[in-house]
Amino acid sequence: MSGHSTYVPSSAIARWFESRLPIIGLMHGSFVSYPTPRNLNYMWTFGAILSFMMVAQIITGIVLAMHYTPHVSMAFASVEHIMRDVNWGWFLRYAHANGASMFFVAVYMHMMRGLYYGSYKAPREILWILGVIIFLLMMATAFMGYVLPWGQMSFWGASVITNLFSAIPLVGSAITTWLWGGYSVDNPTLNRFFSLHYLLPFMLVGVVVLHVWALHVVGQNNPAGVEVKNVKRDTVPFTPYATVKDSFALAVFLIFFSWFIFYVPNYLGHADNYIEANPLVTPSHIVPEWYFLPFYAILRAIPSKLGGVMAMFGSIAILAFLPWLDTSKVKSAAYRPVYRVFFWAFVLTCVGLGYLGAMPAEGGYVIASRILTFYYFAFFIMILPLLGIFETPKPVPATIADAVLAKHGAHAMQPAE
């Protein structure tokens, strides 16, 4: 991770170590002296919050795995055993289950930030695509984790999602049989989901390292959307500025998280998941976890099996092409008055699809889902490419320092050191 380190080993031992493995210098250059744009707002704290959530999920997950049994006849009981018998088990499970939701809250804020401020534009395309891969890995991990308690929603959610692959022409049913290890979701499926649910987070860590590496090569975007031109004028060192700001934001986020753990631990879950899985009875209304609802609404909006599945996967895949779909040279929506309107309409569309995903697939709900699905895709393939041509952006400040000065006046220009 680049960023010129000012680290000077202060002892003979540190010098000896640094000349053999310069890891302290690397950490210092990445998280202490690393220059961050001086105009970052609180939307830039979600990266740190996400890093925290990833570690929290891995730690709570590893200890839960010490008490969980991945077998169809014992999984449900072992989760109740965690809740009732294991010391602090209720806390660990609620922290892990709600932690997944918090992880998604933070990632959606992080993605919205990127979308609003054009963080995906050159030179940050690879950074953005790595983010899309992280999002996909998160979704796969969360989905498999939700199957493990082996409740009714676990089982039927797993059935519906694995059946998506049966929409693939010719090889579809062979692929689903292979995924299941049988002719339906059963013990082999639960076993492999447990194995993969343990594996994927570590792959996630690997991609996050690449994501942070790519970030530190190109530097952070910022609310003005202009690149750092003068490190002294435009940036402040990561420590203490970003460290303190991230820590404060994390503390606020943890209050929010704690409220869920301690006051409404089951609010985001579904009551049917406290009924043990029964392959012969489908719950009357299957809904995925809230963070999948917009995509589920897109799946159900299309009146064809293959078409629905393609639209759903397409709605995620299209994010990877965003750097080339948006033709505007201006990054930040602060200087794009028309884009700003379409952006907020897009956010409302996603929220609306989330609502519709939780509703039954009938009548007006389906029509509304179709309209919003149309806008979802039109935003990427029609609005963004055309807006770059027709929109007249507001004047963009020449430097980050100018943007800060314009907002706060000269007193904001105290030396950073």
Contact 327, 384 (CB under 8 A): yes
What is the dihedral sign for C-alpha 271, 267, 79, 358? positive
Shortest distance, CB of residue 377 to another protein, whole angstroms?
Answer: 19
2 makes contact with another protein (CB under 8 A):
no
Which of 51, 69, 184, 243 contacts another protein by CB under 8 A?
A: 184
Which of 2, 15, 85, 188 contacts another protein by CB under 8 A?
A: 188
CA distance 395 to 224: 11
Which of 67, 192, 233, 370 contacts another protein by CB under 8 A?
A: 192
295 makes contact with another protein (CB under 8 A):
no
User: Between 98 and 154, whose beta carbon lies closer to another protein?
Assistant: 154
Which one of 73-81, 257-265, 305-313, 320-328 is the stretch in contact with another protein (CB under 8 A)?
305-313
Write the binding mask 144 to 183 for another protein: x where contact by CB under 8 A, - elsewhere. ------------x--xx-xxx-x----------xxxxxxx
CA distance 193 to 252: 33
Contact 96, 61 (CB under 8 A): yes
Helices (H), 117-171: 125-147, 152-163
13 makes contact with another protein (CB under 8 A):
no
User: Between 167 and 205, whose beta carbon lies closer to another protein?
Assistant: 167
394 makes contact with another protein (CB under 8 A):
no
Task: Count the neighbouring beta carbons within 10 Å of the beta carbon of residue 409.
Answer: 9
Which of 4, 15, 229, 285 contacts another protein by CB under 8 A?
A: 285
Task: Count the neighbouring beta carbons within 10 Å of the beta carbon of residue 248.
Answer: 12
Which of 205, 275, 361, 405 contacts another protein by CB under 8 A?
A: 361
**Tokens representing residue 217 in the block:** 């090569």
Which of 304, 324, 374, 386 contacts another protein by CB under 8 A?
A: 304
Shortest distance, CB of residue 182 to another protein, whole angstroms?
Answer: 5
33 makes contact with another protein (CB under 8 A):
no
417 makes contact with another protein (CB under 8 A):
no
User: Between 9 and 181, whose beta carbon lies closer to another protein?
Assistant: 181
Q: What is each CA distance from 34 to 40, 140, 242, 296, 317, in whole angstroms?
A: 14, 33, 10, 41, 32
374 makes contact with another protein (CB under 8 A):
no
Q: Number of residues in contact with another protein, rule: CB under 8 A?
A: 35
308 makes contact with another protein (CB under 8 A):
yes
Contact 326, 388 (CB under 8 A): yes
CA distance 257 to 265: 10
Q: What is each CA distance from 126 to 47, 207, 219, 353, in whole angstroms?
A: 16, 12, 13, 28
Q: Is 411 exposed, middle or buried (0-12, 13-18, 19+ CB in 10 A)?
A: exposed
Shortest distance, CB of residue 380 to another protein, whole angstroms?
Answer: 25
Amino acid making up residue 169: P
The footprint of another protein (CB under 8 A) covers: 156, 159-160, 162-164, 166, 177-186, 188, 192, 279-282, 284-286, 300, 303-306, 308, 360-362
